[in-house]
């Protein structure tokens, strides 16, 4: 499938501004779509939308199919009569520049519980029937997920392997008893999913009306403490108690001298293959129902993956193991047709990985921050060597911002030596033909000028922000996924400059010019 020439912005909804502690799917998300349209952008790229768990990472979720309750907009609940306006008046003073996850979770879960009680007592017209229809349509995954979350709460948040044996092993009589005992909690978690998917559907419809398409993100692995692993343990390498015997990660790399030990359980690909990869078909179908294209994270793991004994504390003592290869994607294409998939083909990429990507017809990624150093594929990442069927990035959520990349002290953000950093920066300036005073705009111009079908820029780069605005530091567990956009950052000057560059390099979408900017701010607290 062809992406078509265009450009877009990478920004996860949690990073949007707003008064409720974390970005959500409400007014500020719609206002951001207005910004994209005004700036001539075709694409909005996001991170996974699932319910985050350990470390608040969207790549380590309690479910591969559920939505994140923290993204539910209180403002929209007021508009729909699922909260009263006075319910928002006692909101705590939460930070606006970063997400305070502990405080935000406490506030929003309490608020959502209040909405649920209101729904149960007197649901507004149409909502009760819509909720029932949603639960019936999504029962294939929703029933397991809601029971999993209810049981997890009943066990003080402990992982499912620490539950009573008959619950951890899903004995039918134990599950039946739990459903009776935890009925209200189960229904609450079903209600949260109903809210999330309804608000996401409204936001996506707004995107379509504005000509904005969405690139989603699907991690290759799922979290061990997730509804999917608890419900289908036979699909993973687990011991008799349910603990992983081997876990996922990558060997030493640009980000870490000891590699990255992610801790996700490894799939039993032989079992999945015998079942016709139905689990993957269902997962990809569900993800594609929410977005226009999907970035498949760690694509190289489908060709060969780094398997680490679970007892190891680092990723050093792993080994490469053959993945499912083309057989998986052939089956997915048989079931779903042409796949609008973008392959995240970064890291230690071999000719075999390239061949799998090309055989499947998927565009790959070209990250400009990796084009001037010692990366084995640096030459391919330079724009004069790009191909049309790829997506050019200034950086990704795992990289430093472009300003941070160019100015950070050596050894603080990567495994590079001071000499390597100096050579990389000199090579970048020589290639760019500038002195680097506005390095972020220099690299944005480079990405937009590429022959690549699509160019994606993290919003932090558009705003020229430094390392303080970095979204994630791979291999670290704290302080990630917290950055938020300042409410006044998206100025008319930013819109005009981005749109001008987009026009110069023939990336403007077809159709009439977008309305002026800024649009009226809509993210105020309810009075």
Q: Which two tokens stand for residue 182?
A: 């935890």
Residue 110, judged by CB atoms within 10 A of its CB (0-12, 13-18, 19+), counts as exposed
Residue position matching structure tokens 């608000």 = 199
Catalytic residue among 398, 413, 424, 453: 398
Backbone angles phi, psi at 498, to 5 degrees: -65, -40
Using DSSP bridges, classify how beta strands 341-343 and 43-45 pair: parallel, antiparallel or unpaired: unpaired
DSSP bridge pairs for 297? none
The Cα 321–Cα 303 span in angstroms is 9
Q: Which helix (DSSP H) or strand (DSSP E) does residue 45 occupy?
A: strand 43-45
User: Residue 63 in 3-state DSSP?
Assistant: coil
- Beta-carbon contacts of 112 under 8 Å, excluding residues fewer than 6 positions away, are 69, 72, 192, 195
Q: Which two tokens stand for residue 479?
A: 């302080």
The Cα 137–Cα 325 span in angstroms is 32
Using DSSP bridges, classify how beta strands 246-250 and 304-309 pair: parallel, antiparallel or unpaired: antiparallel
Residues 159, 165, 166, 169, Cα dihedral to 10°: 60
Q: How many CB atoms lie within 10 A of CB 80?
A: 17
The verdict on whether 344 is a catalytic residue reads yes
CA 292 and chain centroid, separation = 14
266 with 247: CB under 8 angstroms?
A: yes
The Cα 488–Cα 497 span in angstroms is 16
Using DSSP bridges, classify how beta strands 213-218 and 43-45 pair: parallel, antiparallel or unpaired: parallel
For CA atoms 197, 203, 204, 209, give the dihedral sign. positive
The Cα 504–Cα 235 span in angstroms is 50
Name the E strands within 238-303: 246-250, 260-265, 293-296
User: Residue 307 in 3-state DSSP?
Assistant: strand
The Cα 70–Cα 23 span in angstroms is 8
The verdict on whether 398 is a catalytic residue reads yes
What single-letter DSSP state applies at residue 344? -
Catalytic residue among 297, 303, 424, 461: 297
The widest CA-to-CA distance across the chain, in whole angstroms, is 70
Provide the phi-psi class of 390: left if phi over 0, else alpha when psi is between -120 and 50, else beta: beta
Which among 349, 336, 345, 353 has a CA at the least distance from the CA of 391? 345
Residue numbers annotated as active site: 297, 344, 398
């Amino acid at each position: 499938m062809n992406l078509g020439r265009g450009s877009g912005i990478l920004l996860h909804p949690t990073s949007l501004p707003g008064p409720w502690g974390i970005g959500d799917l409400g007014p500020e998300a719609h206002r951001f779509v207005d910004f994209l349209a005004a700036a001539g952008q075709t694409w909005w790229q996001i991170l996974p939308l699932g319910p985050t768990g350990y470390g608040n990472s969207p790549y380590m979720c309690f479910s591969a199919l559920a939505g994140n309750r923290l993204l539910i907009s209180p403002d929209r609940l007021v508009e729909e009569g699922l909260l009263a306006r006075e319910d928002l008046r006692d909101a705590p003073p939460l930070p606006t520049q970063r997400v305070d996850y502990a405080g935000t979770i406490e506030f929003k879960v309490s608020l959502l519980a209040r909405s649920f009680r209101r729904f149960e007592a007197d649901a507004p017209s149409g909502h009760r029937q819509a909720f029932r229809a949603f639960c019936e349509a999504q029962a294939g995954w929703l029933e397991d997920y809601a029971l999993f979350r209810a049981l997890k709460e009943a066990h003080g948040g402990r992982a499912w392997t620490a539950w009573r044996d008959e619950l951890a092993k899903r004995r039918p009589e134990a599950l039946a008893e739990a459903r009776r005992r935890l009925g209200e909690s189960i229904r609450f978690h079903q209600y949260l999913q109903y809210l999330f998917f309804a608000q996401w559907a409204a936001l996506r419809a707004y995107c379509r009306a504005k000509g904005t398409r969405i690139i989603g993100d699907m991690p290759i692995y799922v979290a061990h403490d997730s509804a999917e692993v608890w419900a289908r343990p036979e699909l993973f390498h687990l011991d008799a108690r349910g603990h992983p015997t081997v876990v996922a990660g990558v060997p030493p790399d640009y980000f870490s001298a000891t590699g990255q030990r992610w801790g996700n359980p490894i799939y039993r690909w032989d079992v999945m293959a015998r079942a016709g990869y139905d689990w993957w078909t269902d997962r990809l179908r569900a993800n594609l129902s929410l977005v226009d294209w999907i970035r498949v994270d760690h694509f190289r793991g489908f060709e060969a993956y780094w398997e680490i004994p679970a007892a190891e504390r680092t990723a050093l003592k792993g080994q490469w193991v053959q993945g499912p290869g083309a057989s998986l994607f052939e089956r997915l294409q048989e079931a779903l047709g042409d796949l609008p998939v973008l392959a995240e083909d970064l890291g230690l990429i071999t000719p075999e990985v390239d061949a799998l990507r090309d055989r499947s017809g998927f565009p790959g990624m070209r990250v400009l921050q990796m084009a001037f150093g010692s990366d084995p594929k640096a030459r391919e990442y330079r724009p004069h060597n790009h191909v049309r069927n790829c997506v050019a990035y200034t950086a990704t959520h795992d990289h430093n911002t472009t300003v941070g990349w160019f100015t950070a002290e050596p050894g603080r953000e990567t495994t590079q030596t001071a000499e390597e950093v100096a050579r990389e920066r000199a090579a970048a300036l020589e290639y760019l033909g500038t002195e680097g005073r506005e390095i972020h705009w220099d690299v944005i111009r480079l990405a937009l000028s590429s022959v690549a079908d699509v160019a994606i820029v993290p919003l932090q780069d558009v705003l020229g922000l430094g390392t303080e605005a970095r979204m994630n530091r791979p291999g670290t567990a704290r302080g990630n996924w917290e950055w938020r956009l300042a409410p006044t950052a998206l100025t008319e000057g930013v819109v005009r400059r981005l749109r001008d560059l987009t026009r110069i390099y023939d990336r403007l979408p077809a159709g009439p010019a977008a309305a002026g900017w800024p649009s009226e701010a809509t993210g105020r607290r309810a009075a």
